Amino acid sequence: MKIVCISDTHTKHQEVILPKGDLLIHAGDVSWVGSELQLIDFFKWFDKQDFKHKIFIAGNHDLMFERNPKQAQSLIPKSIIYLEESSVTIEGIKIYGTPITPYFFNWAFNRYPGQDIEQHTQKIPNDTDILITHGPPYGILDANVKGEHCGCPSLLSKIQEVKPKLLICGHIHEGYGRLQKEESLYINASLLNHRYEYKNSPVVVEL
């Protein structure tokens, strides 16, 4: 299966040129402030992309998905799979998605360190093959422009337990790239740089 990974398009999806593949995954921040108009525009674009399967999760900028989830989810076309602390199995591959990230200026799906965030990371099933998280785990593709690590320690601990084949994230734009570490391939698929300019290419993975 050829998987095309993107994240953090922040309303600039129309600029994105996607390679061909079987599964398209967006790891969150499809919008700027999560308004209905921004979400509808993204869904129209995402819906018409020529992939057999299309999956996305929300990010911290996609505010409507936390503040008015029923309304937000009602906008999603039937061809698109939305994951929010939930799983889907495609061609025998179990995929789990979660938008939860460490607290940062009270954006969507922010949780404080300790039990507040651990109760969410512990929901990740141990038989997950592909894990989609909006933010990266601590110390892996998570350094900001100052070199500070912004990832989630609780997520890192859970990943070391689960050992997914593939983890796809975004959130920290400067962390764009891929890294093989033990059994897992980590991908930060942020397409915008830290200045919110479209600079990075979609990441393609064969699984």
Q: What is the mean pLDDT of each run of 10 residues along the chain (207 residues)?
A: 98 97 98 97 98 98 98 98 98 98 94 97 98 98 96 98 98 98 97 97 96
- Tell me, what's the pLDDT at 1? 96
Alpha-carbon distances of 147 from 20, 41, 184, rounded to whole Å: 34, 34, 23
pTM to 2 decimals? 0.98
User: Taking Cα atoms as reference points, which of 14, 55, 24 lies closest to residue 202?
Assistant: 24
Range of the domain at 120: 2-206
φ, ψ of residue 41 to 5 degrees: the values are -65, -40
Number of C-beta neighbours around residue 25 at 10 A: 29
Report the alpha-carbon distance of residue 124 to residue 112 in Å, rounded: 18
* CATH classification at residue 42: 3.60.21.10
Number of compact structural domains in the chain: 1
φ, ψ of residue 113 to 5 degrees: the values are -60, 160
